[in-house]
Structure 1
């Protein structure tokens, strides 16, 4: 396989796989801004197709060309994306090996930013960490909620994944997360106001990870959260997911909370860290000099580093 001459350097190419009918424009933009010159989406990709697509990408450019080639895995299913990342890694034939980054629906980087900022404020405001803390995830059956649950549980938190639809749905998702990521979480129902308020009374940390534009915790609900230390909301679309948490809040005292030292973290504070995490991981793929495989543990490491630099 001939290598490009110095006068015609090989371009940076990113192949983007998604199981959905279209790739996220957000991720396409992020890849281009990180320096990829050619960005090619592949839609409706199933797990079985990953090996062939990966090997088509690695064998056509030569050992030097693969260093300027990357694979991104998107979609909406966090479990499938993790499995596709594993399949891509297994398909490599060194020295024909490229970097791979998975971030379905932005869930890995968003959850990383969410958990890292909460961890920062637990230490800053309360001098504690996640160990033993009761974490309630409202809207926890979605993509961001699932990944945040796995991250928080891995840090020793007592994680409850809440479903507004049913206890069985919450338990099903909890079981899937526990098996796939070797953590311990539980599922709870918040179908009625009484169920929600009962769970809030036990919670020390609340994550709101429901779909945009849905309030999952009202001011009346907040009054029941007598042990609450931190409430963090990823919803940037009105109304606020947690009453009293503004999108710009980053450790602001939470009005209406039972504890005077309770603070809120809003969607734009989380989004700022998420953006930096995704950008840095794309740049790491392109400039690292050797293949890397980036999933939510690597996203969390990056988010922690960014959060530590916030002072």
Structure 2
């Protein structure tokens, strides 16, 4: 497990162990230039087809993807292993939030993400940015909202266009007046700001009649969306018709998604490269209700 930060996240270590890995070796302070040697030390010390995996952590999506590319470039067939990137849990959390929102949209309004107007509050963070990219890849019209200066989001939008070929529109949202204007032309609002910070007050949500769904990944009070319950998963927010998705409802899907990708690495016959796209695919499977088997008709008897 490789992290460019001072520590590897205990959350990710526990997830790997609980998902079936017997030994977890965290390496911190790892730069892109360090990845190749570490990966080759790992693969050459065990026979091919050994159940070894590489996990990329940290808090920077661009850096994590660069480290993932360096890990894959270090493979020497037949010494190849799977690589899974989930910086700050952003890929699996974003995937869980977008899959949960999509499930509600389909079940309640008969609509998928394509063409919908989605505004992401807290888009400069790893979860918000990953959510914006996932939504844009699904055909949504995505606005990323600035809470300070808009310049950092302009740079993020450029990176998203260059790396993922998606369009994100940076907009100013520093005041309640600006937020109200954004919500008035939004079908979905995603709150991915810092823990314990109320981003969207109740009065703003109540004045946005076209807002279908609001989702919030903040599990520390005050929550990002005022009036949100942590376990809310499709109930209307207080005083309006907007459906809410709370942090623990999202977290349940996130936990299953990250654990599922760890298990997929162990079971794979060929080496995998897992990122936010794989996380979203799996999260969709997790939130989809199981199909009921068709009832068998009783056999007709000849008279």
TM-score by length of 2: 0.93
How do 1:196-275 and structure 2 match up within 5 A?
196-257=179-240, 260=241, 262-275=242-255
**Structure 2 residue corresponding to 1:187, chosen from 170, 174, 196:** 170
The CA distance in 2 between the partners of 1:123 and 1:256, in whole Å, is 23
Count of residues in correspondence between the two structures: 291
Tell me the residue number matched to 2:48: 63
| Partner deviation per Cα, 1:43-65 (whole Å, 9 max, x = no partner) | 1101111111111111111214x
| Partner deviation per Cα, 1:168-190 (whole Å, 9 max, x = no partner) | 23222222222221111110111
The CA distance in 2 between the partners of 1:115 and 1:186, in whole Å, is 18
The CA distance in 2 between the partners of 1:163 and 1:310, in whole Å, is 39
Paired residues of 1:248 and 1:269 also in contact (CA < 8 A): yes
Structure 1 residue 226: deviation in Å? 2.4
Tell me the residue number matched to 1:128: 111
**Structure 2 residue corresponding to 1:49, chosen from 25, 34, 51:** 34
**Structure 1 residue corresponding to 2:80, chosen from 91, 97, 114:** 97
Tell me the residue number matched to 2:286: 306
Paired residues of 1:79 and 1:180 also in contact (CA < 8 A): no
Long gaps (5+) in structure 1: 1-15
Structure 1 residue 255: deviation in Å? 2.0
The CA distance in 2 between the partners of 1:99 and 1:51, in whole Å, is 14
The CA distance in 2 between the partners of 1:226 and 1:180, in whole Å, is 35
How do 1:70-85 and structure 2 match up within 5 A?
70-85=53-68
TM-score by length of 1: 0.91
Structure 1 residue 124: deviation in Å? 0.5
How do 1:274-289 and structure 2 match up within 5 A?
274-289=254-269
Paired residues of 1:170 and 1:189 also in contact (CA < 8 A): no
